[in-house]
């Protein structure tokens, strides 16, 4: 019956776009309203890596024999991971978040979740569920990290990573595979990249601002173009990585150094060679701006520009420029070092 109604509406829409208004079928109950949990004023909490963030969950009354369960929705495998369960008097923590989470409990109705030393993998959707017999109810919240997305490929060229290798490569560069939401936001902020890359949920995309022939043609509209879900073992692409604020600082050492000398120069200062994600983070959050190419830990040579100028690559937009992966024996560049707090 519902299918016939839908087909009828589709036909009507071809003749009169306003003539078909969907209504809930008679006898279908409305979604249950929250009785005990308060709807949060803001469903998204903004934070940065290393900060302390609180996801609000407050009850308006305390039912008998209730429990509150916090869980995180994992986009890579479409499951929920339990974080903490409480009955108001006692609680138990679960999973890898266990050492860094606690209940805020500022009053007897407060079941808000506090996460300390926020990590990149903490971003995502969380659920606060009141377990109360047959009257369970829940609210969903999103923890959003301010950060930057960057494309990444290895020294041996583009399209070399399967999904697992892409995930590992991002983690080695002080980042993680970006989510679709992070990639989309980066596109709205100007990310324009012609090579397709893996993201966290196992799908493959590439963001285009300026339509052009080598990137699908001039007739395709700008957007985040998608290849959809791919075989995580067999298919090979680049990676889109995401990083957030640093727990430390990046600085430049001038010189004509080969790769080994660059690494030693950083060690002489009690530091390590910066990773690609650390350089992007310093560019994004500390406005690091240098016209000098420098070695990074992966063997690439890059430099960060926040104020574009003619003698620094000549490109009109800010960004982290790359010289690729030159021979490690070249004594042409300085190095970017990272020191933690």
| 305 in Cβ contact with 234 (< 8 Å) | no
Q: Enumerate residue ranges in the chain where pLDDT < 50.
A: 1-25
Q: How far apart are CA 217 and CA 231, in angstroms?
A: 26
Q: Are 200 and 178 in contact (CB under 8 A)?
A: yes
Q: What are phi and psi of 277, to 5 degrees?
A: -60, -35
In this prediction, residue 92 carries a pLDDT of 95
In the beta sheet, which residues pair with residue 238? 197
DSSP 274: P
Q: What gap in Å lies between CA 257 and CA 335, rounded to an integer?
A: 8
Q: What is the pLDDT of residue 75?
A: 65
Segment 17-75, tens digit of pLDDT: 333 333 444 555 555 678 899 999 999 999 999 999 999 999 999 988 899 999 998 76
Q: How far is CA 30 from CA 20, 23, 50, 127, in A?
A: 21, 11, 42, 21
- For the chain, domains (ranges, CATH) are 37-145 (2.60.40.10), 147-243 (3.10.100.10), 246-340 (3.10.100.10)
Q: What is the pLDDT, as a whole number, of residue 5? A: 35
Q: Is 254 helix (H, G, I), strand (E, B) or coil?
A: strand
- How deeply is 55 buried, as exposed, middle or buried, from its count of CB atoms within 10 A (0-12, 13-18, 19+)? buried
Q: What is the pLDDT of residues 66-112, one digit of tens each?
A: 999 999 987 666 688 999 999 988 999 999 999 999 999 999 999 99
The residue ranges of DSSP E strands in 132-175, in sequence order, are 137-145, 147-152
pLDDT of residue 24: 44
The continuous run of DSSP H or E covering 76 comes out as none
225 by Cβ neighbours in 10 Å (0-12 / 13-18 / 19+) ranks as middle
pLDDT attached to residue 9: 36
Q: What does the alpha-carbon distance between residue 293 and residue 114 come to, in Å, rounded to a whole number?
A: 41
């Amino acid at each position: 019956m519902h299918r016939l109604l839908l087909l009828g509406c589709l036909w009507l829409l071809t003749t009169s776009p306003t003539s078909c208004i969907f209504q809930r079928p008679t006898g279908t109950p409305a979604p249950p309203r929250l009785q005990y949990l308060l709807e949060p004023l803001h469903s998204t909490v903004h934070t940065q890596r290393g900060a302390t963030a609180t996801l609000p969950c407050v009850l308006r009354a305390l039912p008998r024999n209730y429990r509150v369960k916090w869980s995180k929705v994992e986009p890579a495998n479409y499951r929920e991971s339990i974080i903490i369960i409480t009955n108001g008097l006692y609680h138990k923590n679960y999973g890898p978040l266990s050492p860094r989470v606690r209940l805020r409990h500022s009053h007897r109705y407060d079941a808000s979740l506090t996460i300390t030393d926020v990590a990149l993998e903490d971003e995502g959707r969380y659920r606060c569920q009141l377990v109360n017999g047959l009257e369970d109810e829940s609210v969903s919240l999103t923890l959003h990290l301010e950060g930057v997305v960057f494309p990444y490929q290895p020294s041996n060229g583009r399209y070399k990573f399967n999904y697992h290798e892409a995930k590992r490569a991002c983690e080695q560069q002080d980042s993680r595979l970006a989510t679709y939401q992070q990639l989309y936001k980066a596109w709205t902020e100007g990310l324009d990249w012609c090579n397709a890359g893996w993201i966290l949920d196992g799908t493959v995309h590439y963001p285009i601002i300026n339509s052009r022939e080598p990137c699908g043609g001039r007739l395709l509209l700008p957007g985040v173009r998608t290849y959809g879900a791919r075989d995580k073992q067999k298919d090979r692409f680049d990676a889109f990585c995401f990083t957030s604020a640093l727990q430390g600082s990046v600085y430049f050492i001038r010189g004509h150094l080969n790769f080994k000398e660059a690494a030693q120069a950083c060690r002489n200062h009690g530091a390590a060679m910066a990773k690609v994600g650390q350089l992007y983070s310093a560019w994004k959050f500390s406005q690091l701006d240098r016209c000098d190419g420098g070695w990074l830990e992966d063997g690439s040579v890059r430099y960060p520009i926040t104020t574009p100028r003619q003698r620094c690559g000549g490109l009109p937009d800010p960004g982290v420029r790359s010289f690729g992966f030159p021979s490690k024996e070249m004594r042409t560049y300085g190095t970017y070092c990272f020191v933690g707090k």
